[in-house]
Amino acid sequence: MVCGGFACSKNALCALNVVYMLVGLLLIGVAAWGKGLGVVSIIGGVIAVGVFLLLIAVAGLVGAVNHHQVLLFFYMIILGLVFIFQFGISCSCLAINRSKQTDLINASWWVMGNNTRHELERSFDCCGLFNLTTQYQDDASCNALCKNRSSTCQMCGEIFLKHSDEALKILGGVGLFFSFTEILGVWLAMRFRNQKDPRANPSAFL
């Protein structure tokens, strides 16, 4: 059967939704990793997109396997909305500059509890945030391992900036690339929805 028939469209739509599920899991995983670094506002949006993409991919997979008309219709509508939202979030991830990241990390750091800050200092082996901020004070209670090796430790802010920049670039690049495949998903679902199932009653248009 040529690619364009019922079976080919069904398989292509199923494969595309499996890819969406993997992308959703990737977005959630990378965003969760980067959430602790202070860029919470935009990372929260990425996690929401990832969860929503994962759910709609499951719905699309079920709709494709069963050739379910109603499920495929809502799949097309919701996937179109996900494309718009994901495109905007991905562009925001790529557009956020180092200065803005610094402001977000600085704001998040000072609303954290002492226990959370000390846990981050131990995890990243650093002390304090930025030595250029007016709020900076040498954290005498810092118990990072670097204090045992040297009288000075690397500032946590520089480490956070490096990791947050990596996370935002990954999220923005992956999200932006796969957002355009969602247009293909809408087209495939629309095409598949209007095709006849050869195993069904030939007189019934499904």
pLDDT of 20-41, one tens digit each? 899 888 888 877 776 655 555 5
**Counted domains in the chain:** 1
- Residue 165 within a domain: yes
Average pLDDT of the segment spanning 132-159: 66
Instruction: Look up the domain containing 191 and give its range.
Output: 96-132+141-196
Q: Would you state the pLDDT for residue 206?
A: 44
- Residue 168 within a domain: yes
Residue type, 24: G
Percentage helix, strand, coil for the chain under 3-state DSSP, each rounded to 5: 75, 0, 25
What pTM, to 2 d.p., does this model score? 0.69
- Residue 24 within a domain: no
- Residue 112 within a domain: yes
181 pLDDT above the threshold of 50: yes
The alpha carbon of residue 198 and the mean position of all alpha carbons in its chain are separated, in whole angstroms, by 38
SS3 7: helix
Average pLDDT of the segment spanning 72-90: 89
- Residue 84 within a domain: no
Q: Would you state the pLDDT for residue 144?
A: 73
- Residue 182 within a domain: yes
- Residue 173 within a domain: yes
Higher pLDDT: 68 or 196? It is 68
Average pLDDT of the segment spanning 117-138: 66
- Residue 63 within a domain: no
